[in-house]
Chain A
Amino acid sequence: MKLDTSGLESFPSLISHGNDVAGEISAPPSFELPNSNDFDSFLKEAIQMVKPAKGTTTLAFIFKDGVMVAADSRASMGGYISSQSVKKIIEINPYMLGTMAGGAADCQFWHRNLGIKCRLHELANKRRISVTGASKLLANILYSYRGMGLSVGTMIAGWDETGPGLYYVDSEGGRLKGTRFSVGSGSPYAYGVLDSGYKYDMSIEEASELARRAIYHATFRDGASGGVASVYYVGPTGWKKLSGDDVGELHYHYNPVTPSTVEHEMVEAAAP
């Protein structure tokens, strides 16, 4: 199986490979797969070994003014919370965002790599790459690593010539175009709030409040999500971070504690 390692090359190889010029379309460089007697179970074991449950909540949706992207910031290793301040919304370039769900290293690396490819496309073609094109580039790379244990569940959100764009791309090789997505272990809870509150004609404030509330509810119920709810907005001039609120504080914002009426008041006893 030929791997698409074009993402890992930093420069084109200078020596022409044997039949490169004389014949077929030049294939990307490839490497040998490991020798094993039972490759299928080797694959299964490898996947099980690295299969994190995508403990996170991320969401994105398109509305009349653009795209709203939101995520929590908790990283967990099983039952241990390893960090409460992970940046799960990755800035690919000034007009495109990617969300992180799954393996943090995989997401970070491949998003940065996507940023490089987008910039190279811009330089070569003198025009920005479309969200369609960028998501397709990422999906192609992830597809070629299919079955090798990458864990990436990402949404590519951006604004290009055709308007707002939102795609869901994952490490199984899937790529979906849509208007509302939520990815991660907290996504069922986020979908509940998002789907019931969504209207295409929302204003930016309404949309950001909806996004924030959806993340908050997911962090409330899902143990693998928490930390800070970040909300980003992608509009015609690029993306902008709107807010980053600690979900603990948001809880009391949405559920204010009313002081209960006192029946017996405790007073300090007079000093003897």
Chain B
Amino acid sequence: MARYDRAITVFSPDGHLFQVEYALEAVRKGNAAVGVRGTDNVVLGVEKKSTAKLQDSRSVRKIVNLDNHIALACAGLKADARVLINRARVECQSHRLTVEDPCTVEYITRYIAGLQQKYTQSGGVRPFGLSTLIVGFDPYTGSPSLYQTDPSGTFSAWKANATGRNSNSIREFLEKNFKETSGQETVKLAIRALLEVVESGGKNIEVAVMTKEDGLRQLEEAEIDAIVAEIEAEKAAAEAAKKAPPKDT
């Protein structure tokens, strides 16, 4: 086994690329990120580890813009993310230059995934240790999309997905509770999903909403706190309703 996990370009006898799988492990250790697609918006939420007192929290934005109409959140190695994001931003502009039109979300996802794949098939390099959630609006049809890529270079579109720590539990929650939502409801759903694995509080979550008209908007801490309070209230009400005796005995 040990012989097959050194160089990236070597398959193991049972068809594994160990380096890629180890990269996926790195992703599993990264902070949780969730994305939910609504009918008129897309929401990204990322777990924020408590910032050190002296750290300027504005310099550690985890949800970034790739273009006016495309945003990205990721889980895994943040330094790798920086490199990937820079390449993607350049590609977005390059597309605008060569074809005089903004690129679609699918195009840039395909580019990022292609880049991640290239690093699984070259000598002397290691794969990018991150999975990305890419959201945006199609410039032609105006419909919202959510895509996910992973270190192996595969990508697919999702209605809602999570990556990073405890992503399985978040995904389970989303599968049980997903329905077509819009506006504030989508934001609430994303935050509810994140709260399954993150300590509640505006300071532990970073949330951003992308709309067709206004692009990406990062939610303020106060806003997030307000929504969290709403969600807690709803949960409490649901608990109370369950415990209350039935109306007719």
Contacts and interface: CB of A to CB of B under 8 A. Distances in A.
A124 B111 CA distance: 11
Interface string A117-141: 0000000111101101100110010
B246 interface: no
A137 B118 CA distance: 25
Contacts of A266: none
Interface string A66-84: 0000000000000000000
A265 B101 CA distance: 73
A200 B100 CA distance: 26
Interface stretch (B119-127, B152-160, B178-186): B119-127
Contact of B118 (A21, A25, A125, A132): A21
Contact of B106 (A125, A136, A137, A140): A125
Contacts of B101: 130, 132-133
Nearest to A121: B99
Interface in B190-231: none
B104 A21 contact: no
Nearest to A129: B99
B249 interface: no
B90 interface: yes
Interface string A4-42: 000000000000100001100100000000000000000
Contacts of B82: none
A197 to B, nearest CB: 31
A25 B140 CA distance: 27
Which one of A21, A132, A133, A140 has the greatest number of beta carbons of chain B within 10 Å? A21
A124 B109 CA distance: 12
Interface string A148-187: 0000000000000100000000000000000000000000
B124 A136 contact: no
Interface string B111-155: 000000011001011000000000000001000000000000000
A136 B140 contact: no
Contact of A136 (B99, B122, B125): B99
B98 A125 contact: no
Interface residues of B, number: 17
Contacts of A16: 122
B22 interface: no
Size bracket, chain A contacts? 10 to 19
Nearest to B91: A25
B11 interface: no
Contacts of A130: 99-101
A124 B110 CA distance: 10
Nearest to A26: B118
Given A21-B125, A22-B124, A161-B140, A136 B90 contact: no
B99 A127 contact: no
B119 A21 contact: yes
B77 to A, nearest CB: 17
Contacts of A25: 87, 90, 94
Contacts of B110: 124
Contacts of A140: 98
A125 B104 contact: yes
B39 to A, nearest CB: 22
A129 B101 CA distance: 10
Which one of B98, B100, B110 has the greatest number of beta carbons of chain A within 10 Å? B100
Contacts of B118: 21
Given A125-B107, A127-B140, A136 B100 contact: yes
Contacts of A21: 118-119, 122, 125
Interface string B81-111: 0000001001000100011110010110010
B66 to A, nearest CB: 16
A147 to B, nearest CB: 21
Contact of B99 (A22, A137, A161): A137
Nearest to A134: B99
B107 A136 contact: no
A16 B140 CA distance: 35
21 contacts: A21-B118, A21-B122, A21-B125, A22-B124, A25-B87, A25-B90, A25-B94, A125-B107, A126-B106, A129-B99, A130-B100, A132-B99, A132-B100, A133-B98, A133-B99, A133-B100, A136-B98, A136-B99, A137-B98, A137-B99, A161-B140
Given A125-B104, A130-B100, A132-B100, 13 more contacts: A21-B118, A21-B119, A21-B125, A22-B124, A125-B106, A125-B107, A130-B101, A132-B99, A133-B101, A136-B98, A137-B99, A140-B98, A161-B140
Interface of A: 16, 21-22, 25, 124-127, 129-130, 132-133, 136-137, 140, 161
